[in-house]
Amino acid sequence: MATAEPVMLELEEEESIWEPLLEHRPVNLRRFASNSTSQVAIIGSNLCPIESLDYEIMENDFFKQDWRSRGQAHIVSYVILKWTLCLLIGVISGAVGFFNNLAIENLAGIKLLCTSNLMVANKYLMAFGVFAVTNFVLTMLAVTITSSIAPASAGSGIPEVRAYLNGVDAPDIFSPSTFLVKIFGCIATVSSLHVGKAGPMVHIGASIGALFGQGRLCKGHLTGKWLKHFNNDRDRRDLVTCGASAGVAAAFRSPVGGVLFALDSLSSWWRSSLLWRAFFTTAIVAIVLRALIDVCIKGKCGLFGKGGLIMFDVTSTSVVYHLVDLLFVVLLGIIGGVLGCFYNFLMEKVLQLYSSINEKGTKYRLLLGGTISIVTSSVLFGLPWFASCQPCPDSTKERCPTGGKMGNFHNFQCPPNYYNDLASLFFNTNDDTIRNLYSSGNELFDPFSIILCFIASYFLGVISYGVVAPAGLFVPVILTGAIYGRFIGMLMGSRSNLDHGLYAVLGSASFLGGTMRMTVSVCVIILELTNNLLLLPLVMLVLLISKAVADSFNENIYGMILKLKGLPYLEGHAEPYMRQLTVSDVVMGPLCMFNGVEKVGNIVHVLKATGHNGFPVIDGTPISSTPYLFGIILRSHLLVLLRKRNFLPTCALTSIDLSKEYSSDDFVKYGYVKPDCIEDIELTEEEMEMFIDLHPFTNTSPYTVVETMSLAKALILFREVGLRHLLIIPKHNRKCPLVGILTRHDFMPEHIFGLHPTLMKSRFKKLRFEESTLIRYLWRILLSSSHAPSSSMG
């Protein structure tokens, strides 16, 4: 856990370009207004209540006493068990990743093999029927199980994992049902639609980590004493991070890329010990995959062949390039940035449309999934008819045409000794298609076929993602980038020294940078995919350029999806308007507090009337002549105290030994178990008039800030330390020792602008080309010229 000192040092390194501070003038802060910020998020297609995770340790007297009782053996067992769980996460993630690829390659391979056999027999209509019906059935299966069993498994799952590691606890995103539906739904969806499996694998790996960190497997009892060590959100967060890293490694056979992906794109907190455990987990994944693939090399895996996992060996062992080639690489980066930001723009509009459809019910989700399946089948089967037949190359070692067998030279409707290059791209799994595009050789594909393939892949990737089924974005983005990258290489011709396959690799990198906006992790993943370190300078250059260009238009695709789902994600930077506000300007009321010794009836009333998770504890008379802040107590701890019924007859401090009445298991937070509700606790009228001493169970060292602290400074502290509550204390002595409590929703722009609508003008905006004065001026010129009379044209 990061300390406050480095956090404060980082505040000095924030951007220096800020709006001027607010002038001192009377402002209606609406300090006691009701909170109108949305407290629900769209997960899958269901509205779910949003809670934050308790990453902060509650240092109360009971915790300190329990911690002092633990010896050296407990610490050693804790460390050993954590590494053991990382080992298990790596083994299971590698096995699940291999199983997914094995199932997808065989399921999609059988479908494509039957279609090819019918095409060879000139049964074209029947071939289309088999192809379309198979895709339709698989899509309906995926949509049905996702909608009816686990709606939270829809989509890639990467936005949900990012939100969880940021501190957002959305229900069921790591439940066992979500985990199982994610596996089988991903197999069905990837085998039938133009979607990827990498995103779902990240979610699957994170779910495996969360399953090991839930604390118990059933509500009634613990399944083992060793699980007691991992019954809190902090340890669960570490296991989820390792699981997400393992998911990337299992999807791409990229162990180092998996670690960097979690560091670059997923985790909001990082430390050296977590880096070591994540690296160990991904190394185990690589070993498991290697061992399982060795079994398939012997031909025991059906159509899986010798691999099936994404691993591309670029045949050019030496990458030789000159200064003029860097100009073409820069051009490729610019194109990738423009195409990537337009891809994100279209994706946002399509997802908004799909959300309105999916919210209407399961019938509409099935209708949407079936429609996209039919469109996909028609496009993939119909477009190859427009491609010209190519003569079989003499240099290839593979049989050409492949006939009814699986291969890279599909005959489709062509005569003998000819192949349809577009059918060779469409009637393969995504892995095999990318291998074809990454392969060396400059005469394998016709430019017109490449253009058709790019248009189809680009727009099918946009319209396919919003289906209520597990689906990823990584592989379609890699495939689409490889297509236009190879096309750019064909246009360069002899003017460039780079092979067309290398242009395809750089195209994938540029499109990933334009859509995902990741640099370091994508760079390493691409290098591990291609197994060619000589590409490093070119990949770095194209990623930096594409990201810079795309950032000038809109944000990354996962940020957009987070906003569409309504997940309150805290960004790592503070916006200018936050510098103009203090923490007291956004605090909401009324403030619910408890006395150090509180009446049972008051506690029950507050718990029933509010949904707050934490309550300040104030000590006043008769304990103290001057009221002061003693600490904060959690709702879950209050429920434990009410359930135990160790009440006091009078308003006095307790004198009994609490270690005999409570155990550490009473206050732990388990996963996937519905928390207790105040409505489930029945108390008599006599008990309601009794008292509880809250002092031993109150966190006496909560994070506090002075009411004059800027909101920007508080945001950095809140996010970097991983807080759920941030108490605001007055700068000067007041009758009440507390001004209010900041939670995650108080930092959301919707909440702040609802209180201070005049700050909308100072909201931080990156330099957007579409908003610049120059672009607006050029746009007016184009519009005026388009409306000019034809006689005036030269």
DSSP for 696-738? GGSBSS--EEETTSBHHHHHHHHHHHT-S-EEEE-SS--SSS-
Q: Is the pLDDT of residue 8 over 60?
A: no
Three-state DSSP state, 448: helix
Reported as a pLDDT band with limits 50, 70 and 90, residue 9 is very low
For residue 185, give every residue at least 6 positions away whose Cβ sits within 8 Å of its Cβ, in sequence order, or none: 142, 145, 146, 153, 200, 469, 470
Task: Provide the residue ranges of all domains of the chain, joining segments of one domain with +.
Answer: 15-36+576-702, 327-353+388-565, 762-794
Q: Tokens standing for 701?
A: 């060292």
Taking phi over 0 as left and psi of -120 to 50 as alpha, with beta for the rest, 772 belongs to beta
Q: Is the pLDDT of residue 138 over 90?
A: yes
Compute the average pLDDT of residues 1-10.
Answer: 41
> What is the per-residue pLDDT for 235?
86
Per-residue pLDDT tens over the stretch 304-346: 655 455 555 554 546 677 788 888 899 999 999 999 999 999 9
Compute the average pLDDT of residues 258-279.
Answer: 89
In 10 A of CB 212, how many CB atoms? 25
Per-residue pLDDT tens over the stretch 16-75: 333 344 443 333 333 334 444 455 666 665 666 778 888 888 887 777 777 777 777 778
Per-residue pLDDT tens over the stretch 547-606: 999 999 888 999 999 988 888 899 888 888 888 899 999 987 778 889 989 999 999 999
Per-residue pLDDT tens over the stretch 97-121: 999 988 998 898 889 889 888 888 8
Strand duo 614-619 + 628-634: pairing: antiparallel
| Per-residue CA distances from 418 to 399, 453, 622 (Å) | 11, 19, 95
Per-residue pLDDT tens over the stretch 187-227: 999 999 999 999 999 999 999 999 888 755 544 444 455 55
For residue 40, give every residue at least 6 positions away whose Cβ sits within 8 Å of its Cβ, in sequence order, or none: 47, 48, 49, 50, 566
Question: Distance between CA 553 and CA 573 in Å, rounded?
Answer: 19
Asked if residue 486 lies in contact with residue 464, where contact means CB atoms within 8 angstroms, the answer is: no
Per-residue pLDDT tens over the stretch 153-181: 998 999 999 999 999 988 888 989 999 99
Question: Distance between CA 590 and CA 597 in Å, rounded?
Answer: 21
In the chain, the percentage of residues whose pLDDT exceeds 90 is 38
Per-residue pLDDT tens over the stretch 626-643: 888 999 999 988 998 898
User: What does the angle CA 307 – CA 313 – CA 316 come to, to the nearest 5 degrees?
Assistant: 160
Question: Distance between CA 501 and CA 507 in Å, rounded?
Answer: 10
Q: Is the pLDDT of residue 133 over 90?
A: yes
Strand duo 594-595 + 614-619: pairing: parallel
Query: Which of 627, 598, 626, 435 has the alpha carbon at shortest distance from 531?
Result: 435
Which residue's entry shows tokens 């194209």? 542
> What is the per-residue pLDDT for 549?
94
Query: Which of 82, 429, 145, 100 has the alpha carbon at shortest distance from 247?
Result: 100
Reported as a pLDDT band with limits 50, 70 and 90, residue 786 is very low
Three-state DSSP state, 324: helix
Question: Distance between CA 28 and CA 755 in Å, rounded?
Answer: 8
What is the pLDDT of the chain when averaged over all its residues? 82
Q: Is the pLDDT of residue 661 over 80?
A: no
Q: Is the pLDDT of residue 791 over 80?
A: no
* C-alpha torsion sign, points 770, 774, 778, 784: positive
Question: Distance between CA 674 and CA 677 in Å, rounded?
Answer: 9
| pTM score, whole prediction | 0.87
> What is the per-residue pLDDT for 370?
95
In the chain, the percentage of residues whose pLDDT exceeds 70 is 83
- Is the domain spanning 327-353+388-565 CATH 3.40.50.2000? The answer is no
Which residue's entry shows tokens 């590409």? 535
In 10 A of CB 505, how many CB atoms? 31
Please name every residue paired with 49 in a beta bridge, in sequence order, or none if there are none.
40
